[in-house]
Structure 1
Amino acid sequence: MTLFDLALKNIRRNMKSYSLYVGSMVFSICIYFTFVTLKFSDDFADGGSMISTLMNVSSVMLIIFVAIFIAYSNSFFMKKRKKEVGLYSLLGVRKKQIGFLLFFENMVIGLFSLIVGILLGFFTSKGILAILIQLMNLDIVSSFTFSGEAVRQTMLLFMIIFFLTSLQGYFVIYQFKLIDLFHAEKKGEALPKAKAIAAILGVAMIGAGYYLASVDMSTSQTWKMLGILTTPLIIVLLVVFGTYLLFHSVTVFVLSKMKNNVHFAWRGLNLMTVSQMLYRIRGNAKTLTLIAILSATTITAGGAVFGLYYNIGKEAQKYAPNTFMWQGNSVNIQSDAIIYNENIEVKNSDLSIYGDVYNYAFIKLSQYNKITSLQGKEALTLLGNNAFIIDSFYDARFSDDYTGKTMQVGEQTFTIESFSDESMFNTPSLFVVAVVTDKAYEAIQGEAVSYQMVEMKDEKNQLAVSDKIREQIGESETLSSYPAIYQSMVQSYGALLFAGSFLGLVFLMAMGSVIYFKMITDAEEDRGKYEVLFKIGVNSKEMKKTIRAQVGLIFGIPLILGILHSVFALKAFSTLFNMNIVTPVLIWIVVYSAIYGLYYVLTVSYFNKVIRQK
């Protein structure tokens, strides 16, 4: 039997252990191949630059993460097989031959994953492309074609990764003595015992990070003192180190207290469960910290992008409350969907507010109230030289309150009675508007300008009407079009959501696989302990219960922490953009947790299977 035959035999024998690892790699290669293919797709000729840039950035992020994941996973398999490697050495097999055996095994698994990933990517790319088209609301028919350049790029990059990780396996035999290889599985990460000071510091750091993320950056004195650019970095560092200390000390401190509680510890298999968890959380503090931070990053990024995509209609409506608006004369629009087609007149004039000179558009009260009746809003009452300001860009955190201020327009002095940040006009056409009485309007010396306002039914799907209006008014005039704004936002955020979702899935599969590898390794190490429990009369139900508890804590604590971290990060995002994203974030968290939960179920199932083998 040649080394290559032995390598293939070992792969077939360990295929169940490799299944999630191979599945994660296949999925990663499939997504990478799809991203690269999209760059060469003719379906995105119009927005090719944006798609190409986004897919390039996503591909780089994906390849870096996958390279780390493959190297990390490979180290698990090496640890698991060191006893086997030691046995080869004991039987007289030369180190060079053992190194080549491990090298061949990893290369064969890598090549298999690469071929399957590319083939799967080719057959599923049309469907994935259709998802992107749907998210971007593009009116095109997917015509996916095979890209030789995408295949070459995918094969080259992943072959380099597999070659380097295979070298990692080749040199493992040269890094350890024979006795170390036989006792490798018994070695854990030797971490110091939990200390009260470290536990308190961990909680304090996470609390400080949460506090900085939850306060309003525009009004917080802490943000001003630390700096707008420095504070986010400080928050990240506080949360990362606080999370590590939480796994390193806080959870160990809590579990130690539970272990020392006689009423709890001596009930069922609680003592064994807690003792096992103490070792595992201490020994895997770095890995669990990494998983919690990656979970938080994935949920935060995905929730933020999904929140933006979810609120596209509201955001577009905020700045374009009319379907169309432009400066100039009316045009001929042939459509039964028109709700109103109104001509308005405004005067542009310079005014002075407390010494600062601005150029505002003035509209008379009667014209304003006519528009409110068309839009179903409340009418306004003004007396004398009082004025009402409409400023859709007003933000209480950054803007001054208009109420009570006076403004000088030529010889007239107006007092601002009230203001609103809800615009009735499309802001690309009219930014800040002052409403004054008809008499005061006539006295204003300024240039009179005509604007056209059109409202239509089903305004999201009126791009064809938008194009016809553009043809009639010419390129020199500014057309504010709700369907055009909406479509632009859908394309931008849809592409981001597409890339973020699939990257998030890759990260999630990798994280689930890492925990799975750790737990099945622990299961094989603990098999003897469960055999003893079975012999002394512990039933299968009790053993399954303790297995579910152990695996549940390893899976659950990083997930809960990741969700908590993301909630505070998304709260800061929501405050910054003044946007309600509760619903999309909850949807995102539920979907993420459900997929993550599948890995928990698979791990528990395999853990039980390993324990039952004898």
Structure 2
Amino acid sequence: MTLFSLARKNIARNFSQYFLYIASMVFSIIIYFTFVTLKYSDTIAEQTASSQKLGSLMSGAAVILIFFVFIFIAYSNSFFMKKRKKEVALYALLGVRNRQIGFMLFFENLLLGLFSLVVGIVLGFLCSKGFMTILIHLMGYDVVAPFTFSAAAAMNTGIVFLVIFLVTSFQGYRLIYQFKLIDLFHASKKGEVAPKPSMIVAVLGVLLIVLGYWLAMQDLFTSKVWEKIGFLMTVLIILTTVIMGTFLLFHSVTGFVLAMIKKNEKWLWKGLHVITISQLLYRIRGNARTLTVIAVLSATTVTAGGAVYGLYYNTNDSAKTINPNTFMYQSTDAEMDKQVSAVLLNTKYDENIEALSITFHTKELNSPSTFDSSDKRSYTVIDEKTYNQLASLQHKEKLNIKDDHAVILDIGYDKRFSPIYTGKTITTGNGHPLTFQSFKMQTVLNAGTAGITVVVADDQYKVLQKDGEVLRYRVLGVEDASVDLSQKIANQLPEEALFSSGPQDYQTSLEGVGSLLFIGSFLGLVFLAATGSIIYFKVLTEAEEDKSQYNMLHKMGVSAKEMRKSIASQVFVIFVVPLVVGLLHSVVALKAFSSLLMIDLAKPVLLWMIAYTVIYGLYYFLTVASYNRIITLNNRTEG
């Protein structure tokens, strides 16, 4: 029997144990193949105006995926090697040379990789239509994607993953030379040394996490800490303190918590609680590195996905804030309006309004935190009657403005940088003052055409007509407006008309954020699959070590129900603790992100966290079922 055939038979015999590992690799290959296919897709290039940018995003995502998959495969291999060291030792005892054993392990891993690669590319091709349709839908287009097979994408995927599998296969080959025979026989009994909990280490871990959280919650633009340390250094400090703190949390803090629970003797000696707590003390402290990786991966996945989904969720509201009117442009003659009217359909409202473009002296508005420190700024000025007319059409609250006062409409208002408007006075070049009675973070004119708008009383507007240039705008509310209609109108207008289109701006935003959501979601699913797989492999490796203990309990008369309950409790803690820590990290990160962009991410982030937790929970149930199956089969065999 050749080494190659022996490797093939070993894979067939242990296929059920390799299944989740293969499934994770196949899923990673499907996603990578999809990204590369979309990069070369003519359908995407035809539909999107930003196809070149999308191709760059796909390439960047593919690189991240390659890096992550390589680490995941290498990490998973270490678990399988630990589990099979006793089997390798038996080959050595039978006289098989290290070189031959190494080649057998090399072929096994390479065969698994090739099988995963073929299945991944085939399934990637079959799923490509669905994935492409999802991307096109997220980007706001109503197009059915065709089945496409890209030979370039298949070759790219094949080369990349063959290199990864060759490197990891060589890792398995080299591993056989790094252990003595006695080490191989006792490998399954060797775990990470469970350190004793230290109060100093526990306090240090908590303080490091608190420090990282505190730095993350400081405002990026106004914080003295960020200013003194620098952006990159501060980010590095946050990542370092949170990751180190998380490791120390699992290393000692959880040990203290479990030790305190163990002191409750009345509860401890009920059922198998004493065994559950004792094993958890080892599992959590002894596997601090693995649990830290899980927590950090969970935090990264939820933070990135939640942030992008939050932006996507708010795209429509943001577009409506910037463009309260479907279309708007500066009208200079009747012929221009006539040409636009010729292509319009289903108009809700069509208003021609007058406005003023005035340059004001704005010295009072300047402050140390204001980016624009000039003493003069130009604003679009409209009267109260015009504002209320448009506000009524847009279902907004009307204004009541005092004489010699004004209300400024600044949709980009940010208290960190924007002027303190209320109570401040600006003056025209002819000396007419205006005092702001309030400001609003909304507008009735499209910001792309009118910019920041100032609303004054009707009588005051007549006085200001001598201080600025009179402008005429046409504002349109259109039912079922589309990008095509927007393009038709744009073709009728010169560039100086400053045409702004709600549908076009919304579509542009949706393209960018939709593609990010697509990439982030599928990368997140890969990370989630790998995260669940890592815990699965780790727990089942420990299940093999625990077989004798549970068999002893079985012989002592402990019921299968009690053993299943103990197993479920242990695995639950191993799954939930890093998940909770990861979600807590992501909540802080997303809170900081939300404050930075001044948008409400609560609802989309909560939905994203629930979705992540549900899928993550499926791995828990799968792991518990597999653990119970191992113990049950062993008890039946051993009696």
> Are positions 1:93 and 2:96 aligned together?
yes
Tell me the CA shift for residue 553 of structure 1: 0.9
For residues 278 and 517 of structure 2, the distance between their equivalents in structure 1, rounded to whole angstroms, comes to 43
Matches within 5 A, 1:243-254: 243-254=246-257
Moved more, 56-65 or 467-476: 467-476
Kindly indicate whether the alpha-carbon contact (under 8 Å) linking 2:294 and 2:531 is maintained by their aligned counterparts in 1. yes
Match of 2:367 in 1: none
CA distance in structure 1 between the aligned counterparts of 2:538 and 2:598, rounded to whole angstroms: 42
* Alignment match, 2:40: 40
Partner residue in 1 for 2:350? 341
- Displacement after TM superposition at 1:219 (Å): 5.3
Are 2:251 and 2:288, in contact at CA under 8 Å, matched by a contact in 1? yes
- 2:419 counterpart SS class: coil
Among candidates 141, 145, 152, match of residue 144 of structure 2? 141
The answer to whether the Cα contact below 8 Å between 2:483 and 2:503 also exists between their aligned partners in 1 is yes
Q: Which residue of 1 aligns with 2:399?
A: 380
SS in structure 2 of the partner of residue 210 of structure 1: helix
Aligned-residue offset at 1:194: 1.3
Task: Tell me, yes or no, if the aligned pair for 2:323 and 2:446 is still in contact at 8 Å.
Answer: yes
Secondary structure of 2:18's aligned partner: helix
Contact kept, 8 Å, 2:426 with 2:434, in 1: the verdict is yes
Q: CA deviation at 1:218?
A: 4.9
1:416 to partner: Cα distance: 2.0
1:394 aligns with 2:418: no
Deviation of 1:143 after TM superposition, in Å, equals 2.2
Q: Aligned residue for 2:3? A: 3
263-272 or 602-611: which moved more? 263-272
Residue 122 of structure 1 and its aligned partner are, at CA, apart by 0.8
Tell whether 2:312 aligns with 1:280: no
**One-letter code aligned to 2:477:** E
Moved more, 303-312 or 355-364: 355-364
Quick check: 1:304–1:585 contact (8 Å CA) kept in 2?
yes
Whether 1:183 aligns to 2:202 is no
- Structure-2-length-normalised TM-score: 0.93
| SS of the residue 2:436 aligns to | strand
Deviations 1:337-365 (A, max 9, x none): 21111111112122112372111222223
| Equivalent-residue separation in structure 2 for 1:537 and 1:383 (angstroms) | 87
The aligned residue for residue 17 of structure 1 is 17
The CA deviation at 1:600 is 0.7
Write the letter of the residue equivalent to 1:337. N
Provide the rounded CA distance (Å) in 1 between the counterparts of 2:386 and 2:170.
Answer: 77
> Paired residue for 1:363, among 351, 373, 382?
382
- Are the counterparts in 2 of residues 333 and 465 from structure 1 also a CA contact under 8 Å? no
Please state if 1:198 is matched with 2:201. yes
1:136-285 matches, within 5 Å, as 136-218=139-221, 220=223, 222-224=225-227, 226-285=229-288
**Cα shift at 1:368:** 2.4
Letter in 1 for 2:5: D
Shift in Å, 1:478: 2.0
What residue in structure 2 maps to residue 60 of structure 1? 63
Hey, what does 2:450 align to over in structure 1?
430
CA contact (8 A) 1:34 1:121 kept: yes
What do the CA deviations read for 1:465-488 (whole angstroms, capped 9, x no partner)?
211211111344321100001111
The yes-or-no answer on 1:539 pairing with 2:559 is yes
Do structure 1's residue 102 and structure 2's residue 105 form an aligned pair? yes
Alignment correspondent of 1:504: 524
Residue 231 of structure 1: how far off its partner (Å): 3.2
Indicate the percent of aligned positions where both proteins have the same amino acid: 53
**Range that drifts further, 524-533 or 583-592:** 583-592
Seen in structure 2, the aligned counterparts of structure 1 residues 383 and 194 have a Cα distance that, compared at 3 Å, is closer
- Aligned partner of 2:475 among 453, 476, 484: 453
Name the CA distance, whole Å, in 2 between partners of 1:476 and 1:362: 19
CA contact 1:353–1:405 (8 Å) conserved in 2: no
CA distance in 2, matches of 1:92, 1:222: 65
Q: 1:430 deviation in Å?
A: 1.2
1:12 Cα deviation after fit? 0.9
**What is the DSSP-based 3-state SS (H/G/I as helix, E as strand, rest coil) of the residue aligned with 2:497?**
coil
Which of residues 396, 408, 413 in structure 1 aligns to 2:427? 408
SS at match of 1:87: helix
SS in 2 for 1:473: coil
Deviation at 1:463, TM superposition (A): 1.8
Q: Is the 8 A contact 2:312 2:514 kept in 1?
A: yes
Q: Secondary structure at the match of 1:122?
A: helix
Separation in structure 1 between the aligned mates of residue 50 and residue 222 of structure 2, nearest angstrom: 39
CA distance in 2, matches of 1:31, 1:524: 32
Moved more, 421-430 or 140-149: 140-149
C-alpha distance in structure 1 between counterparts of 2:171 and 2:216, whole Å: 41
Q: CA deviation at 1:390?
A: 1.6
SS of alignment partner, residue 146 of structure 2: coil
The one-letter code sitting in structure 1 at the alignment partner of 2:350 is N
3-state SS in 1 of match to 2:341: coil
- Is the CA contact 1:137–1:491 (under 8 Å) kept in the aligned structure 2? yes
The answer on whether the counterparts of 2:195 and 2:286 sit within 8 Å (CA) in structure 1 is: no
Name the CA distance, whole Å, in 1 between partners of 2:159 and 2:220.
Answer: 46
Q: How many angstroms apart in 1 are the aligned matches of 2:486 and 2:528?
A: 42
Secondary structure of the 2:622 match is helix
Letter in 1 for 2:407: F
CA distance in 2, matches of 1:588, 1:501: 10
8 A Cα contact 2:539 2:571, kept in partner: yes
Q: Which amino acid aligns with 1:403?
A: T
Task: Give, in angstroms, the shift of residue 63 of structure 1.
Answer: 0.6
User: Which stretch has the larger CA shift, 371-380 or 1-10?
Assistant: 371-380
Structure 2: state its 5+ residue gaps: 365-374, 635-639
Aligned match for 2:534, one of 502, 514, 524: 514
CA contact (8 A) 2:343 2:489 kept: no
> 2:343, 2:488 within 8 Å by CA — same for their partners in 1?
no
Counterpart for residue 368 of structure 2: none
Question: Which is further off, 492-501 or 466-475?
Answer: 466-475
State the match for 1:478 in structure 2.
498
- Provide, for residues 376-406 of structure 1, a one-character-per-residue CA deviation record: whole Å limited to 9, x for no partner: 3333333432222222221123222211212
Amino acid at match of 1:188: G
TM-score (ref. length: structure 1): 0.96
Summarize deviations over 1:481-536 as a string: whole Å, max 9, x none: 00001111111111011011110111111111111111111111110000100111
Q: Structure 2: which amino acid aligns with 1:550?
A: Q
The structural deviation recorded for 1:586 is 1.3
Letter in 2 for 1:395: D
Does the aligned pair in 1 maintain the 2:133–2:143 contact within 8 Å?
A: no
More divergent stretch after superposition (407-416 vs 506-515): 407-416
Q: How far off is 1:100 after superposition?
A: 1.0
Q: Is the 8 A contact 1:41 1:144 kept in 2?
A: no
Asked if the contact 2:379–2:452 (Cα under 8 Å) also holds between the matched residues in 1, the reply is: yes
